Amino acid sequence: MVLNDSRVIPARLFGTRSRRPDEKEAAPGRIEVLLTEQIDTWEWSALVKPGRKLQVGDGIEFTGGDDTNLHADIVNAGERGERVLRFTPVTDFEGRLDAVGHMPLPPYIHRSDRPFDRERYQTVYARQRGSAAAPTAGLHFTPEILGRIRAAGVKICTLTLHVGLGTFQPVSVADTTQIKLHSERYELSPECADQINAARRDGRRVVVAGTTTVRTLEHCAAASADGVLRPHAGSTNIFISPGFHFRVVGALLTNFHLPQSTLLMLVSAFAGRDNTLAAYRHAVEARYRFFSYGDCMFIS
């Protein structure tokens, strides 16, 4: 079984815009920033609200409850509304981000984050910092359940895909061939590549937890000339929809996703559209819980 061990960072920040040279004082109001991907040592791709009022060259000040602070300047604006922030270099950036930032709970959770979300909105095997959201299929596992799975003879390995905009990007065009997802960073470890290659050679099924794991493995397989997985790091914007040929994944554990989402299209590609719609009808009738903290299904 393959898991995504990415760890969610406190990627939601609240700040105020610095005063511009032509202003007597900075504009009032709170600015919300969601860090989506680290692209350089001090530079991050981000979503910013209110984006239309923030220009390239504007600075943003972030302050935590213990007077910990960070400063970032907007250095670029993307085509799809994202901004690139360059933080002023500081010692212990991760520590300051932990003090200033908030956990990026999904927008349908209508409350502010709380201290317990720092661990509750993580998988029990989360290790590699960098995600803007949890790989939520993994939230169903506890150490005890993982122990029982291993005791049954199942080999478990982890890869890393830092969840960003690509995972949750909605479908906004009628022609799916025109969909282009944001890239997300991943790393395939030697141990994981070896275990998956061995399972495929032996004819054993590769079971994955979550659509992020599916996307990483299928990207790596498609990029390999001979189909053999090799350890490496990179980025992927793979879009999986009905008609896709799965090279690696033999079974999938996944939550119930939003309608008109690329994740639902991935599930339909794996399970078949009719089977997926039937499963969702049953879930609605049986009053299953949907989305990040919801129930899940196993597709084989």
pLDDT value at position 259?
81
φ, ψ (nearest 5 deg) of residue 255: -80, 175
Per-residue pLDDT averaged across 106-113, rounded? 87
pLDDT value at position 20?
76
Q: How confident is the model over 250-284, as pLDDT tens digits?
A: 999 999 988 878 889 999 999 999 999 999 999 99
Longest dimension (CA), the chain: 71
Per-residue pLDDT at 18 exceeds 90 = no
In terms of pLDDT, which residue wins out, 65 or 59? 59
* pLDDT interval class at 293 (50, 70, 90): confident
Per-residue pLDDT at 43 exceeds 70 = yes
Rank 21-30, 58-67, 165-174 by mean pLDDT and report only the highest.
58-67
Least confident of 24-33, 164-173, 216-225: 164-173
pLDDT value at position 167?
61
